[in-house]
Chains A and B, each alone.
Chain A
């Protein structure tokens, strides 16, 4: 139940944000497709440089950013709830 409550709190916060904020993407489809094109071309030079390791590192970095900035966002919301204002 303790873990359930914690998950429910997070779900409430994320759910409220997902409900109120607009579902608008700022990235044109061409940008996203260009990323796919770039990655597929980078993979070709794997015979010279270990691009598989490079991709793993990029994924590691992205996953870190997701966790880090999500945590900062939650902490800032928690601070606001305490009355300390929004500090990001």
Chain B
């Protein structure tokens, strides 16, 4: 028997090595390459409930009056862990002249607005059609969903639902609270964040359609940052993560009174609704002379210090400041977006392994790291420092795969005999502790049979009994003392075991 143990333990280190190499080969293959081998980062901008999605209407028309009177009340629900995003909006049509015979609804993720505005990157496009007394969604000439009633001067409510899994858009039209039902309308989503919704009201004569109404409300975008967003559609690896925002400039006279234009970016990270970290993403300053009125500018900020590497919600805020010669500044516009990084989707390991350790070092790509003959002293110092950081980090910090593997195996180990004889009792007890409900309003009573032979319970001891006898303060001290006695007894027991 002893020889068998000796033989086993003689080969024990070999088992260890095989196990290590085998597991890490698998680990590298599965999820060890989160940052460098092209894994997708699951960064999705979202509005939990936001009016940031702007519905615009009735500002640019080829005929007058417009057939669409008003539109608004946009609510966009993005559920990062759900299959559906839901958008609500409402619109009010004209019923006297230029009655729209159909509506087209566009959702798009990007806008370039420099008078006139135009769209790029449609997310979806489907028609809302109506005849004189019917309004319905239509996916084709043979499929439609009817909503009875005349075209009246009232608000219509539309609900659009993204089916992210099947890449479908479904629409519901409601009038005065009546749900018309569902009709799947196939559309191609590119997965980009929805920025704006646009409604086009169409009138027609015979077979002739022409666009009548509304494009972009340009006046609402003046002096405003159109959007600020993680450029999700451009993310292929974490190193490509960057922020993009757009600035539209008006002809306002005060614009030229500023010397500089400051753009401040802030990021708040939250895991449970509470802001647990704030970082200044970037503070940029541009000479005002660089900007031309009535123009649109796109900016890209690429700051590796701000790579989102934690799960939870991120709030990104931007503040546009006009800076006077004296240094005083005035806030011109602000914007806020929310996006989240979830663990439920695959491909991105937020815990990572020793990432971003050298972002504060001057590790320029020219010369490349192997062109050591061209290195300057600074390059050499930064490279050595970077190498040192990574060496120490890789040596000491365990990869999440190791800890996860150990945890899984240990949990399995706890279920085998004879160890489970202890662990089952321990886990059952601890679970019972966790699920038990403490009670402070019970009463301890004694049974009593009175002269009429009726059984009753006489209350003897309750939570207020001790306080009544020795006072509330002393009762608290008494209770605390008993607690300390429990701790003392436990400590003694542990000391006895070690002894």
List residues of chain A with CB under 8 Å of any chain B CB: 1-5, 7-12, 14-18, 21-27, 32, 35-36, 38-40, 42-55, 57-62, 64-66, 68-69, 80-81, 83, 85-86
Contacts and interface: CB of A to CB of B under 8 A. Distances in A.
Given A25-B417, A39-B433, A32 B462 contact: no
A66 B422 CA distance: 9
User: What's the interface size class on B, roughly?
Assistant: 35 or more
Contacts of A61: 490, 493-494
Given A35-B432, A83-B6, A8 B23 contact: yes
A27 B412 CA distance: 17
A35 B421 contact: no
Given A36-B428, A47-B440, A61-B494, 5 more contacts: A4-B399, A12-B15, A43-B437, A44-B442, A57-B490
15 contacts: A3-B395, A3-B398, A7-B402, A16-B15, A27-B425, A32-B425, A35-B429, A38-B432, A44-B439, A47-B462, A53-B483, A59-B430, A61-B493, A64-B497, A81-B12
Contacts of B440: 46-47
A80 B7 CA distance: 11
**A contact face: mostly helix, strand, loop, or mixed:** helix
A7 to B, nearest CB: 4
**B contact face: mostly helix, strand, loop, or mixed:** helix
Given A44-B439, A48-B444, A11 B409 contact: yes
Contact of B486 (A11, A21, A39, A54): A54
A12 B489 contact: no
A54 B490 CA distance: 9
A88 B398 CA distance: 30
Contacts, number: 170
A60 B422 CA distance: 15
Interface string B35-54: 00000000000000000000
Interface of B: 2, 5-6, 9, 12, 15-16, 19-20, 23-24, 394-399, 402-403, 405-406, 409-410, 412-413, 415-426, 428-433, 435-442, 444, 461-463, 479-480, 482-483, 486-487, 489-490, 493-494, 497-498
A52 to B, nearest CB: 5
B22 to A, nearest CB: 10
Contacts of B486: 50, 53-54, 57
A45 B435 CA distance: 16
B12 A11 contact: no
Nearest to A55: B433
Contacts of A10: 406, 410
B337 to A, nearest CB: 38
Contacts of A17: 413, 416, 419
A18 B439 CA distance: 40
A7 B405 contact: yes
Given A18-B409, A47-B463, A64-B494, A11 B19 contact: yes
Contacts of B438: 43, 46, 51-52
A25 B15 CA distance: 29
Nearest to B497: A68
